[in-house]
Amino acid sequence: MSRGVAVLLTLLVLAAAVFTGWYSNRRVLYFPPEFQKQVNDCELQGVQSREQVQDDFQAAWFSGVLGDLEEPSLFQRPDGSLRSVRLTLIPSFHPPFSVRVDTRADGRMVMTEKRLAPLDYNWKREGRFSGERVRLLSDSEAQALNSVLAETGLGEVRSTGCSDGVLDGMSWIVEISDPEHGYRYHYRQWAQDEPVRDFGQHMLGLAGWDDLPPELRPLKPSNP
């Protein structure tokens, strides 16, 4: 075998390995397929409408973002997993980021914040993962998170998806996986309604932001 052929075969093997890793990541099932067959009532400024909980485009888009962030699926988890909650924000012209809180076997809660590198990210999801920040929540922070979950009821009500009548803006995706109530998903574009926004802002606070990261504060929507 000539040296040139050997080099070519090596490159092909490496390319196949990279593709296999990428394809495997994209095969993670982040959301229940039945969401695309379910509809729910939505309301924006007094106007009622009915929308799919999640359509095909959203399923592919949101899954791609979570894959880029190297996030685990909260829908498909090992049996016996304790509660996990996640907020994912996807702005139109800024890189997405996520804040996840997992409950450990000892009852402590761990926050994981992830984002993509701003300079490398574009709408085609070709961004470079910029790493993560992990820390333990204090007892008071854990109690406050439990209170917000109880007050909003997002972990108990049916999964919902509403575009808020907006085609652009910032997607707020709340996911809750609980051994008692199962998996719950709530999507809003701009998150005008209080439960999703209240929960989202609380998660942002745990990540160290009063409301939104500095680069996103000009995009903050006004309250209706």
SS3 63: helix
In a domain, 16, yes or no: no
User: Which own/partner pairs from 177-180 qualify as long-range (CB within 8 Å, at least 24 positions apart)?
Assistant: 177/74, 177/75, 177/77, 177/81, 177/83, 177/84, 177/85, 178/83, 179/80, 179/81, 179/82, 179/83
* C-alpha of 86 from chain center: 6
Residue 123 maps to a domain? yes
Name residue 92's amino acid: S
For residue 211, the surrounding DSSP H or E stretch is: none
Residue showing tokens 């998170």: 145
pLDDT tens, position by position, 166-212: 666 789 999 999 999 999 999 998 766 679 999 999 999 998 876 56
Q: What does the pLDDT read at residue 93?
A: 75
pLDDT tens for residues 94-108? 788 899 999 999 999
Q: What is the pLDDT of residue 67?
A: 94
Residue 21 lies in a domain: no
Tell me the residue range of the domain where 215 lies.
31-219
Q: What are phi and psi of 11, to 5 degrees?
A: -65, -40
- What burial class does residue 9 get, using C-beta atoms within 10 Å of its C-beta: 0-12 exposed, 13-18 middle, 19+ buried? exposed
Is 62 a member of any domain? yes
Q: What is the pLDDT of residue 221?
A: 47
Does 20 map to a domain? no
pLDDT 10s per residue in the chain (224 long)? Answer: 565 545 454 444 444 443 334 434 456 899 999 999 999 998 766 778 899 999 999 999 999 999 999 999 999 999 889 999 999 999 877 788 899 999 999 999 999 999 887 655 554 445 566 678 899 999 999 999 999 999 999 999 999 999 866 666 789 999 999 999 999 999 998 766 679 999 999 999 998 876 566 656 554 544 44
Element housing 137 (H / E): none
- Specify the number of domains making up the chain: 1
| Count of all residues that appear for the chain in the document | 224
Neighbouring CB atoms inside 10 A of 148's CB total 18
Give per-residue burial for 86-103: e unless 16+ CB within 10 Å, then b: bbbbbbeebbbbbbbbbb
Q: What is the pLDDT of residue 16?
A: 41
Q: Is residue 187 part of a domain?
A: yes
pLDDT at 47: 75
pLDDT of residue 165: 62
Tell me, yes or no, whether 40 lies in a domain: yes
Residue 35 lies in a domain: yes
What is the pLDDT at residue 163? 84
> Shortest CA distance to 115 belongs to which of 24, 214, 15, 14?
214
What letter does residue 213 receive in the DSSP assignment?
-
Cα 135 → chain centroid? 18
